[in-house]
Amino acid sequence: MLNEYIEMKCDYTDLKGDEGILTEYTGDFLQGFYVKDAEEFENWMLKTREILRQNRINKLYEKIQHYIDINDYEKVENYGRQIINIDAFDERAYRILMKSFINIGAFNKAIDVYRKLTETLQDELGVYPDGETRALYEKAIELKSAKVYENKKKEEFFYGRQEQLNTILMNYYGFLNSREYKAPVIIGEAGVGKSRLKRKFIDLVENDLFIIEAECYQAEENYILKPWNNVFSKLWDIINNEKIDVPLVWKNIIASVFPIFYDDADTVRVNPVEGISSLKFQVIEEAIIGVLKKVSTIKKVIIVFEDIQWMDATSLSLFSSILLHGENNHIFFLCTCRNEYTNKIESFISTMIKYNKIEKTNLQRFTKEEVREFSLNVIPECTNNEELMDKIYQETEGNAFFLVEMLNSIKESGSINIMSSKMQDIIKSRFLDISEKGKELLKIISMFFDEAPLDVIVELTGNDELEVIDIVEELEKKFIIKEIENNSGISFVFTHQKLREFIYLQLSYGKRKILHNKIGKLLEKNLKNDKTDILTYSKLIYHFKNANNKESALKYSIKNADICLDFAHELFPVINYGGPILKSQFLNSEQVNEYLNEIEVLLNEVADEINDHKKILEYKMVLYHMYGRYFIRDGEYLKGKEYIQRMINNALQIEDINYALKGYRQMIYCGIQTHDVDLMNNYLEIALPMAAKLVDKKEYGILLRLKGLGKIMSCSFKEAEELLIQSIKIFEVISKDDDRFILNIAAAYNYIGEIRRYNMQFQSALSYYDKAITITEGKKVLTGLSLFNTNAGQAAFEIGDYHRAKTYFLKALKLFEEMDSLWGRSTAEGYMSFLEVKEGLYKEALNRLKKADYYSQKIKSPMEIGIIYRIKAEIKSNMKNNRKLNDVFKNYLNLELEDYCSYGIEILKNINHGYEADILKVLKSK
């Protein structure tokens, strides 16, 4: 019996409370206690011991999770170590420790933890840590090396953000080491510190890399492909500086979208085969990806887009397709984005996340504690001034921009009146004791939404360069302005847009108007009349609009639209990959309409203001031309023709014959596209005599060729050939002085070749193709050579000269290799496949046929698809008597011969020239 007066105390019950197991349970249950020969007791004791131990560990993990959630890594470390004390083999705890050390940038500690774990495991169990733990270790090592590099550099103050920086760096190392990685997107509110974090990252990695940075500005949100234009302009410099050999075809293709890529602005582009548009979006995309790849073989490339919330829709779509279709290991993309984003950016981000192409990293405002630490770094003398620290947090709410401005203000003015001021006044105080000249300069720099070039400032202010730089120095010391240097010279920008806005908004409307107009005029004077001008248009429009100089704004809006719409049509109707999700992001006709409408509104305003009737007609003419061209290319022929007709009327009124002829030509092209020979003839009848009267006979020569084409389309081959020969004669005369137009001759020869081929005069067809090929060889053209060789190959094939056919096809395919999806590729591949069958190379032939199929689907030309059916039918009919051939092809060609023939005939039935359908009919009846 136990004495009932003794107060019983059992510390076991203390363990039951919520915290008890953590505070009270410090050693094992009944540690050191032993009862002799009591096996049952022993079992019970061990079991209880284990349960308690497990309870304690679970509780510790709970605690850890809580402190991870509130970012208190000190506590996390403390509890993590406790777990390790209880269970030295619990790798999960080691990982938690490592992770929290990595998060606070204590990489050595993380590495140390790993070493301890390895030692323990090796000594006791002879094993190594898990892959997951090892990955953390490697991460710490990599991040540490970046950190070492960082220490070598003396630089601007940067505080915290280790976690976000790690996310970016990890992806970057993935990229460097050719592992999977995603493009980081730094997201956060205005002024939170996105750009600073980006700069920090760039500082860390800036080694032997090409770094291309492109900003997106609100003022340019509606300019098609503006940020990419900047990227390509920089790529162009790199390509030239490093003498990177980029295939001419790629250059030409890219130049059609980014004119900066024109090698030789003088080359006159001729599409030698009318009626097909050679530039599908995939082609452009391929060329772009190709060039990026080329450049990145010299050095790795980083492309940074700042503020993608202002990226235009077309740029976003190009960006998506590069992310989706480019091989990942060539370019590292990094973006910053405000979190106030719109639909288009939201769908971009969510789609790219879905495909694992980007990783969001969110930047939050600094916490109260962080604000305090940040501040003490800048103003260590205020260590004990709690009141000031409270005030700083209260006013800035942890926003980095406000914080920096406030601290700068305190540093400059002492903290005297800070206590009673609001943020707005604090920012104002930053500009208080700036010299008069400095203030004037600030006003001027604030006129530019992007950067203010030194030379423009010099011209505006009348100060000389040194004077300006002196004044800027004062502003740089105050951290208001910073200097940037690039190819075009020195420029200045505000350290933050908000400071710019502050100054800009203080200027009177009248003063702004005058300054904008002056700047616009200066920039206008600096235009070089070459391909680089388009980079300036958006700026000109911005200044002239804000100067209320509507006419000049209109002039450059039209010029800009003219260039953009020239290719924009290529970008939307053909896209059909990646499923419907991507579609919404592409520039659609609604957007183009809006774009053009905006110009029209401006035009009408100008019309109200100026009395120059002729000039207004001229502007309208150019605008209608854009409308018409756009609608025709978009397949809205009725609307398109209407606008072109209006354009022609205007041109005739102001007697601008060249423009009228452009209009007629557009109508004729429309006829080609819609197979409307009557329409072609109608306009040819008006245009030809008009062009004949001009001294310059180029237009006449082209129109003759088009008339010839019309005759081909209506199968009047004899007349067609006569017209083509006339056209050739005209260009032969022109080419004596100026050989830029010689391709027009090649185009006509090719058509004659086609006429002969359609009439099964293959031998003479070949001689014409040869002429076309000889002229084109060595010339900078996009299509043409590959297509002429393909045509010639077909002719040689039909007369059974397989050897010669092969030579042509191989030449064509070599050209296609640089460029995947050009017209004619599937035809060349298809015929080559059949030639290989004839040579007994069945496996090669099968692979080639598959390729041919692929390209014909990509291009979607009925002619090419029809030709592939013909090839299939021919191979199929050979399979009957050839077992080996049959074995190789039986799975791929599993339809009946008759089916291939019928499909081919069906798809070719709308093409009234050519003999392919006839051949299929013969095969079918066999």
Ligand X SMILES: Nc1ncnc2c1ncn2[C@@H]1O[C@H](COP(=O)(O)OP(=O)(O)OP(=O)(O)O)[C@@H](O)[C@H]1O
Token pair listed for 71: 């970012």
Least separation, in Å, of the C-beta of 206 and ligand X? Answer: 17
Exposure of 608 by Cβ count < 10 A (0-12 exposed, 13-18 middle, 19+ buried)? exposed
Stretch touching ligand X by CB under 6 A, among 221-229, 311-319, 397-405, 733-741: 397-405
Least separation, in Å, of the C-beta of 161 and ligand X? Answer: 5
> Which strands make up the sheet holding 183-188, listed edge to edge?
209-215, 300-306, 331-338, 183-188, 358-362
Stretch touching ligand X by CB under 6 A, among 132-140, 152-160, 450-458, 877-885: 152-160
Token pair listed for 249: 């075809």
Least separation, in Å, of the C-beta of 496 and Mg ion? Answer: 7
Q: Rank residues 221 and 605 by Cβ distance to ligand X and give the closer one.
A: 221
Residue with tokens 């914080």: 403
Which residues, 6+ apart, have CB-to-CB distance to 70 below 8 Å?
A: none
Least separation, in Å, of the C-beta of 500 and Mg ion? Answer: 12
538 binds, among ligand X, Mg ion, none (CB under 5 to 8 A by kind): none
Q: At what angle do helices 39-69 and 73-86 cross, to 10 degrees?
A: 160
Q: Rank residues 195 and 399 by Cβ distance to Mg ion and give the closer one.
A: 195
Least separation, in Å, of the C-beta of 378 and ligand X? Answer: 9
Q: Is residue 309 involved in binding Mg ion (CB under 5 A)?
A: no
Closest CA to 158 of 190, 208, 203: 203
Stretch touching Mg ion by CB under 5 A, among 73-81, 190-198, 697-705, 867-875: 190-198
- Which residues is 481 bridged to in the sheet? 494
Q: Is residue 100 involved in binding Mg ion (CB under 5 A)?
A: no
Distance (Å) of CA 338 to CA 225, 305, 729: 20, 12, 61
Which single residue brings its beta carbon nearest to ligand X? 193
Cα–Cα distance, 225 to 288 (Å, whole number) = 13
Binding-site string for ligand X from residue 398 to residue 437, where x marks contact by CB under 6 A and - marks none: --xx--x---------------------------------
89 binds, among ligand X, Mg ion, none (CB under 5 to 8 A by kind): none
Q: Is residue 373 involved in binding ligand X (CB under 6 A)?
A: no
> Which strands make up the sheet holding 489-494, listed edge to edge?
452-453, 489-494, 481-486
Binding-site string for ligand X from residue 807 to residue 836, where x marks contact by CB under 6 A and - marks none: ------------------------------
Task: Show contacts with Mg ion in window 758-817 (CB under 5 A).
Answer: none
Q: Is residue 585 involved in binding Mg ion (CB under 5 A)?
A: no
Q: Rank residues 305 and 627 by Cβ distance to Mg ion and give the closer one.
A: 305
Among 86, 176, 190, 469, contact with ligand X (rule: CB under 6 A): 190
> Could you write out the DSSP letters of every residue in 102-150?
HHTT-HHHHHHHHHHHHHHHHHHH-----HHHHHHHHHHHHHHHHHHHH
496 binds, among Mg ion, ligand X, none (CB under 5 to 8 A by kind): ligand X
Q: Is residue 195 involved in binding Mg ion (CB under 5 A)?
A: yes
Among 59, 75, 111, 160, contact with ligand X (rule: CB under 6 A): 160
Least separation, in Å, of the C-beta of 449 and Mg ion? Answer: 14
632 binds, among ligand X, Mg ion, none (CB under 5 to 8 A by kind): none
Q: Is residue 495 involved in binding Mg ion (CB under 5 A)?
A: no
Stretch touching ligand X by CB under 6 A, among 296-304, 343-351, 489-497, 658-666: 489-497
Which of helix, strand or coil describes residue 820?
A: coil
Q: Is residue 188 involved in binding ligand X (CB under 6 A)?
A: yes
Q: Rank residues 198 and 478 by Cβ distance to Mg ion and give the closer one.
A: 198
Q: Is residue 229 within 8 Å of 258, Cβ to Cβ?
A: yes
Total Cβ atoms within 10 A of residue 770 = 15
- Cα dihedral 64, 70, 71, 72, rounded to 10, equals -60
Q: Is residue 192 involved in binding ligand X (CB under 6 A)?
A: yes
Closest CA to 874 of 912, 914, 823, 838: 838
Exposure of 249 by Cβ count < 10 A (0-12 exposed, 13-18 middle, 19+ buried)? buried
Stretch touching ligand X by CB under 6 A, among 154-162, 663-671, 781-789, 911-919: 154-162
Which residues, 6+ apart, have CB-to-CB distance to 907 below 8 Å?
A: 862, 865, 866, 869
Q: Is residue 318 involved in binding ligand X (CB under 6 A)?
A: no
44 binds, among ligand X, Mg ion, none (CB under 5 to 8 A by kind): none
Q: Is residue 664 involved in binding ligand X (CB under 6 A)?
A: no
Q: Is residue 338 involved in binding ligand X (CB under 6 A)?
A: yes
196 binds, among ligand X, Mg ion, none (CB under 5 to 8 A by kind): ligand X
Cα–Cα distance, 762 to 744 (Å, whole number) = 23
Q: Rank residues 29 and 217 by Cβ distance to ligand X and give the closer one.
A: 217
Least separation, in Å, of the C-beta of 375 and ligand X? Answer: 11
75 binds, among ligand X, Mg ion, none (CB under 5 to 8 A by kind): none
Size of the site for Mg ion (CB under 5 A): 1
Token pair listed for 550: 């509507």
288 binds, among Mg ion, ligand X, none (CB under 5 to 8 A by kind): none
Cα–Cα distance, 82 to 559 (Å, whole number) = 71
Q: Which residue type does 156 have? A: E
Which residues, 6+ apart, have CB-to-CB distance to 24 below 8 Å?
A: 11, 14, 15
Exposure of 19 by Cβ count < 10 A (0-12 exposed, 13-18 middle, 19+ buried)? exposed
Cα–Cα distance, 789 to 795 (Å, whole number) = 10
Total Cβ atoms within 10 A of residue 306 = 20
Cα–Cα distance, 315 to 309 (Å, whole number) = 11
Among 351, 361, 495, 557, contact with ligand X (rule: CB under 6 A): 495
Which single residue brings its beta carbon nearest to Mg ion? 195
Binding-site string for ligand X from residue 3 to residue 42, where x marks contact by CB under 6 A and - marks none: ----------------------------------------
Q: Is residue 175 within 8 Å of 300, Cβ to Cβ?
A: yes
Cα–Cα distance, 873 to 901 (Å, whole number) = 6
Q: Is residue 185 within 8 Å of 522, Cβ to Cβ?
A: no
Cα–Cα distance, 496 to 844 (Å, whole number) = 61
Least separation, in Å, of the C-beta of 450 and Mg ion? Answer: 13
Exposure of 226 by Cβ count < 10 A (0-12 exposed, 13-18 middle, 19+ buried)? buried
Among 409, 497, 549, 789, contact with ligand X (rule: CB under 6 A): 497
Cα–Cα distance, 832 to 176 (Å, whole number) = 40
Least separation, in Å, of the C-beta of 341 and ligand X? Answer: 11
Q: Rank residues 198 and 858 by Cβ distance to ligand X and give the closer one.
A: 198
Task: Show contacts with Mg ion in window 22-81 (CB under 5 A).
Answer: none
Among 158, 210, 355, 758, contact with ligand X (rule: CB under 6 A): 158
Q: Rank residues 195 and 789 by Cβ distance to ligand X and give the closer one.
A: 195
Token pair listed for 270: 């001729």
853 binds, among Mg ion, ligand X, none (CB under 5 to 8 A by kind): none
Least separation, in Å, of the C-beta of 493 and ligand X? Answer: 11
Which of helix, strand or coil describes residue 496?
A: coil
Task: Show contacts with ligand X in window 195-254 (CB under 6 A).
Answer: 195-196
Token pair listed for 347: 């769908």
Q: Is residue 310 involved in binding ligand X (CB under 6 A)?
A: no
Among 184, 193, 326, 793, contact with ligand X (rule: CB under 6 A): 193
Which letter does DSSP use for residue 891 in this model?
T
Among 63, 99, 139, 194, contact with ligand X (rule: CB under 6 A): 194
Which of helix, strand or coil describes residue 493?
A: strand
Least separation, in Å, of the C-beta of 399 and ligand X? Answer: 8
Cα–Cα distance, 791 to 753 (Å, whole number) = 8
| Residues of the shown chain interacting with Mg ion in the complex, contacts defined by CB under 5 A | 195
Interface contacts to ligand X, rule CB under 6 A = 157-161, 188, 190-196, 307, 338, 400-401, 404, 495-497
